[in-house]
């Protein structure tokens, strides 16, 4: 970012402190370094020539990039963009850790990513063992990692055979990494729901959206991932994704970080034609489905604060006849935040514990959420607390509803 633009953005913070009421890291720590205002103060000091020290690095590393502060901020300061930009400066200055560099180079190449996850699926039994919760695995004691649980890896997502019923048009599905490799059942459900509502679905073979690289400060990697997707999806009219973070990245971030490049016009076009799947389905006349059960809904930050989508997923769930029991703070962050939870697991658990209490308070057996990252972190928490609730994407519930039955069955 141009230093003058950075100065202009930083100066907009009027230090009102309104962000304290919604920032999940401040709510958990009560530390001024862990809130938008404190982070901006340190960024201003850096812009003024301060040498980045441990406090500065902590302020950057503990931001969830959730955008809750921007929703509350009177001048609308986009702290997530400022933090990502600063992480980019740190990465240029110090370099990224080897593990990140390796992971990002793999994520940039879909064929390599597929191979890596296939190998992971084959080898997971050697280092992981089944967790308390069905379908989750936890590292064996010698591996460490504090017993966190994650889904058992299965075969990656592939477009299921079949055709659309009705011929209402064509969409390209952009699954995103977590749907491709961790929750392929969500991709299959998305295809089933789209086809049963008359849409032909194509899978142009898209890779990572680039957000993991952008969040870690690997700007060049994010640009490569974005330009590959812009080219791959250039010929399609509508792109639909089941992942809110991918939707936010394709819709809003590509046009910003590809500015000034040849691909910028195509990025603007990508922004216009991409939709998160609940939003897309919410704008259609859908066939009727029916499902019994009591559910609650968690708002993913990138869908709620990022794209302003709150009602559409709830309307889809209600349309099935499900009983929606709202939790106390459905919009409160679950504590995932991508690499945030990898680097700051204790703080991520502290934030997650509040979400689990809110879920327990609803007595619902299902937590619906469209975000695969939130799902992974909430499932880890449910396993940690020995809570029996299942987490599902709204399109999985829709697909179940088209078969009829009980969501808890
Ligand atoms: S993006 Fe989220 S974690 Fe970061 S300062 Fe804003 S509210 Fe806090
Ligand atoms: S709400 Fe916005 S203006 Fe107020 S202190 Fe936070 S970042 Fe600054």
Residue 23 in domain? yes
Boundary (domain end) residue, out of 94, 123, 141? 94
78 and 107 co-located in one domain: no
Domain total of the chain: 4
Residue 375 in domain? yes
Task: Choose one of 20, 41, 66, 87 to mutate for the ligand 1 pocket test, by most ligand atoms within 8 angstroms of C-beta.
Answer: 66
- The DSSP code for 77 is -
Q: Which residues pair with 199 in a beta bridge?
A: 169
Relative to beta strand 128-130, strand 136-139 is antiparallel
Residue 17, ligand 2, Cβ within 6 A: yes
pLDDT score at 145: 63
Can you tell me which atom of ligand 1 is nearest the CA of 23?
7
384 and 305 co-located in one domain: yes
| CATH number of the domain encompassing residue 35 | 1.10.1060.10
Residue 191 in domain? yes
End-to-end, the C-alpha distance of the chain in Å comes to 52
226 and 180 co-located in one domain: yes
Q: Can you spell out the DSSP letters for 86-147?
A: HHHHHHHHH---HHHHHHHHHHT-HHHHHHHHHHHHHHHHHHEEE-SSTTEEEE-GGG-GGG
Please give the structure tokens belonging to residue 385: 């607390």
89 and 112 co-located in one domain: no
85 and 106 co-located in one domain: no
138 and 217 co-located in one domain: no
Residue 160 in domain? no
pLDDT score at 66: 97
Q: Which residues pair with 368 in a beta bridge?
A: 297, 392
CA angle 47, 51, 55 (to 5 degrees): 95
44 and 131 co-located in one domain: no
Cβ(200)–Cβ(159) below 8 Å: no
Of all protein residues, the one whose alpha carbon is nearest to atom 5 of ligand 1 is 36
11 and 86 co-located in one domain: yes
Residue 389 in domain? yes
Task: Choose one of 10, 28, 30, 67 to mutate for the ligand 1 pocket test, by most ligand atoms within 8 angstroms of C-beta.
Answer: 67
pLDDT score at 82: 94
pTM: 0.94
pLDDT tens track, the chain, 409 positions: 666 677 777 889 999 999 999 999 999 999 999 999 999 999 999 988 899 999 999 999 999 999 999 999 999 999 999 999 999 999 999 999 999 999 999 999 989 999 999 999 999 988 899 999 999 999 886 666 667 899 999 888 999 988 877 788 999 999 999 999 999 999 999 999 999 999 999 999 778 999 999 999 999 999 999 999 999 998 899 999 999 999 999 999 999 989 999 999 999 999 999 999 999 999 999 999 999 999 999 999 999 999 999 999 999 999 999 999 999 999 999 999 998 998 899 999 999 999 999 999 999 999 999 999 999 999 999 999 999 999 999 999 999 999 855 565 4
Residue 270 in domain? yes
Task: Choose one of 17, 70, 81 to mutate for the ligand 2 pocket test, by most ligand atoms within 8 angstroms of C-beta.
Answer: 17
pLDDT score at 339: 87
18 and 68 co-located in one domain: yes
Residue 143 in domain? yes
233 and 268 co-located in one domain: yes
Residue 288 in domain? no
- CA dist., res. 297 & res. 334, Å (int): 12
| CATH number of the domain encompassing residue 277 | 3.40.50
302 and 395 co-located in one domain: yes
177 and 275 co-located in one domain: yes
pLDDT score at 406: 56
Cβ(316)–Cβ(281) below 8 Å: yes
Which domain, by its residues, includes 89? 3-94
């Amino acid at each position: 970012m141009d230093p003058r633009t950075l100065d202009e953005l930083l100066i907009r913070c009027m230090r009102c402190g309104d962000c304290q009421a919604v920032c999940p890291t401040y709510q958990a720590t009560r530390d001024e370094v862990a809130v938008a205002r404190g982070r901006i103060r340190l960024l201003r000091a850096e812009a003024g020539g301060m040498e980045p020290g441990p406090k500065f690095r902590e302020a950057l590393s503990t931001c969830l990039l959730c955008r809750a502060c921007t929703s509350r901020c009177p001048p609308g300061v986009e702290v997530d963009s400022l933090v990502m930009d600063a992480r980019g400066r740190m990465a240029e200055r110090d370099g990224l850790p080897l593990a990140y560099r390796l992971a990002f180079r793999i994520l940039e190449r879909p064929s390599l990513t597929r191979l890596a996850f296939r190998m992971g699926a084959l080898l997971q039994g050697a280092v992981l063992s089944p967790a308390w919760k069905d379908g989750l695995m936890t590292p064996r004691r010698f591996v460490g990692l504090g017993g966190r649980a994650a889904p058992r890896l299965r075969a990656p997502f592939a477009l299921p055979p079949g055709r659309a019923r009705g011929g209402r048009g064509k969409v390209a599905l952009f699954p995103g990494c977590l749907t491709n490799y961790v929750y392929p059942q969500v991709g299959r459900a998305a295809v089933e729901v789209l086809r049963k509502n008359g849409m032909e679905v194509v899978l142009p073979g898209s890779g990572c959206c680039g957000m993991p690289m952008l969040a870690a400060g690997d700007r060049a990697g994010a640009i490569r991932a974005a330009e590959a997707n812009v080219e791959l999806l250039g010929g399609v009219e509508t792109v639909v994704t089941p992942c809110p973070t991918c939707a936010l990245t394709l819709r809003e971030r590509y046009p910003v970080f590809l500015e000034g490049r040849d691909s910028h016009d195509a990025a603007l076009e990508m922004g216009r034609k991409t939709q998160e799947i609940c939003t897309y389905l919410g704008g259609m006349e859908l066939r009727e489905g029916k499902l019994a059960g009591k559910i609650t809904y968690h708002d993913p930050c990138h869908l709620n604060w990022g794209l302003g989508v709150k009602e559409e997923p709830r309307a889809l769930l209600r349309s099935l006849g499900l009983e929606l029991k709202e939790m106390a703070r459905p919009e409160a962050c679950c504590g995932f935040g991508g690499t945030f939870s990898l680097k700051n697991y204790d703080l991520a658990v502290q934030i997650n514990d509040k979400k689990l209490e809110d879920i327990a308070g609803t007595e619902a057996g299902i937590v619906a959420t469209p975000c695969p990252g939130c799902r992974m972190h909430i499932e880890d928490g449910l396993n940690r607390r020995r809570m029996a609730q299942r987490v599902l994407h709204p399109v999985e519930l829709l697909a179940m509803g088209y078969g009829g039955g009980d969501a808890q069955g």
